[in-house]
Structure 1
Amino acid sequence: MSGLANCVAAAWQPGIGDPNATGWLTVLAYLLCFALSAKVWLKLHGRGGRAFWGLVALLMLALAVNKQLDLQSALTASGRCLAQAQGWYDHRRIVQMAFVLGVLGLMFLALLMGLRALRGQLWRNGIALSGLMVLCSFVAVRAIGFHHMDALIGSHGFGVSTNYLFENVGLLLIALNALWILRRG
């Protein structure tokens, strides 16, 4: 194994990333959103918004798997090991900021593309698009791994972590929008 691979292997091991009750509830919420999104995708056969719901379904399934494998921690460990191996670890804040700006730029571009793709359909899919943006913001914050951001989302309110609330608000919005479409007949 190379030095970089050894460093990542020492910093991250595949396994259950969030083995507590709230972690498993969130996985179930992702899987529920996947099932609802897939049902909406099937229902919208030949109608506007179908591609959006197909992408949401795939993303929910991928995020359900990622939730317990903690792949964003592998990404963070890889970045840290690369910075150490290449000697720019002391200047990592510049790279982190560029990464943050890049992620925010991609999210903004995805939002614009979503708005354009859903033109004329936004009234029907806007709540899910909002939930998706909340969820993508959460995933980006987790992937970036800034210590002060980790402290913020690791704090507790209402008896549960802000992390849990932030992630599940996005999932709730997606599920509510899917249920609304499915109930409209």
Structure 2
Amino acid sequence: MNILLNNCAVIISGNSWQPGIGDPTILGWLTVFSYFLTAFCYFKCGHKNRRDSWIWWVTGLFLLLLGINKQLDLQSLFTVIAKNIAIEQNWYEQRRSVQKNFIIGLITIVFASFMFFIQGMGRKVKQFILPLFGVVFLLTFIIIRAASFHHVDQLLGWQLAGFRLNWLLELGGISCVAIAAIKQICKTRR
């Protein structure tokens, strides 16, 4: 039995996952291209800016991984694994409280990582405010997607002028991060 998960063509047969293209639409591929292009820009900035290179490289790696995940849809694999564990261990009926605790844990880890990242930046936080805003935007989007509650999935599928809210949120976050890299590249060329 094949199902459509979050309007994406990921194949889930029964309680198993098979790799497929997570979002085979034009905007899905545009999003992947945007992740990869922005990651490339960040790697280029990391190469050119020796003092701040770790900030550029870490953010570039984060974007590269998000681009890969966009089409592999690895969170669906995680969901299937968690569902199978819940069924085997007889706590599937209580999954909502486990999901809630998982999201709280994820938010805590993201917040702690973000604070560690900001602390490592020191006084450069102001210089990197736009990419930080974009990363926070993307992390918020990821946490919302990870919640995978039915009403959240319905919200992300909502359309505005023919564009799913899902695409607008993700591409908006990528855009903030990309603008910062493009500005830095232009600055170093002068």
Scaled by the length of structure 2, the TM-score of the pair is 0.88
Q: Which residue of 2 aligns with 1:148?
A: 151
Give the structure with the larger helix fraction. Answer: 1
In the aligned structure 2, how far is the partner of 1:150 from the partner of 1:11?
21
In the aligned structure 1, how far is the partner of 2:17 from the partner of 2:157?
19
C-alpha deviation, 1:20, in angstroms: 0.7
The one of 80, 84, 100 aligned to 2:83: 80
Unaligned runs of 5+ in 2: 1-11
Classify the secondary structure of the residue corresponding to 1:12: strand
C-alpha deviation, 1:109, in angstroms: 0.7
Within a 5 Å distance, the mapping from 1:161-172 to structure 2 comes to: 161-172=164-175
1:57 partnered with 2:60: yes
In the aligned structure 2, how far is the partner of 1:114 from the partner of 1:9?
40
In the aligned structure 1, how far is the partner of 2:90 from the partner of 2:106?
24
Q: Which residue of 1 aligns with 2:19?
A: 14
Residues 73, 143 of structure 1: 8 Å contact kept: no
- Per chain length, whose mean CA-contact separation is higher, i.e. which structure has more relative contact order (CA < 8 Å, sep 6+)? 1
Q: Which residue of 2 aligns with 1:43?
A: 48
Q: Which residue of 2 aligns with 1:111?
A: 114
In the aligned structure 2, how far is the partner of 1:73 from the partner of 1:143?
9
Change (3 A) 1:87 1:51: same
Change (3 A) 1:8 1:101: farther
Classify the secondary structure of the residue corresponding to 1:18: coil
C-alpha deviation, 1:14, in angstroms: 0.3
CA RMSD of aligned residues (A): 1.5
C-alpha deviation, 1:10, in angstroms: 3.9
1:29 partnered with 2:34: yes
1:58-112 CA distance string (max 9 Å, x none): 1111111111111011111111111111100111111111101001111111221
In the aligned structure 2, how far is the partner of 1:149 from the partner of 1:43?
41
1:11-47 CA distance string (max 9 Å, x none): 42101111010100001100111111101111111x1
Residues 75, 143 of structure 1: 8 Å contact kept: no
Scaled by the length of structure 1, the TM-score of the pair is 0.90
Aligned residues between the structures: 177
Classify the secondary structure of the residue corresponding to 2:18: coil
Q: What is the percentage of aligned positions where both structures have the same residue?
A: 34
In the aligned structure 1, how far is the partner of 2:85 from the partner of 2:145?
19
Classify the secondary structure of the residue corresponding to 2:24: coil
Change (3 A) 1:28 1:77: same
C-alpha deviation, 1:143, in angstroms: 2.4
Change (3 A) 1:144 1:177: same
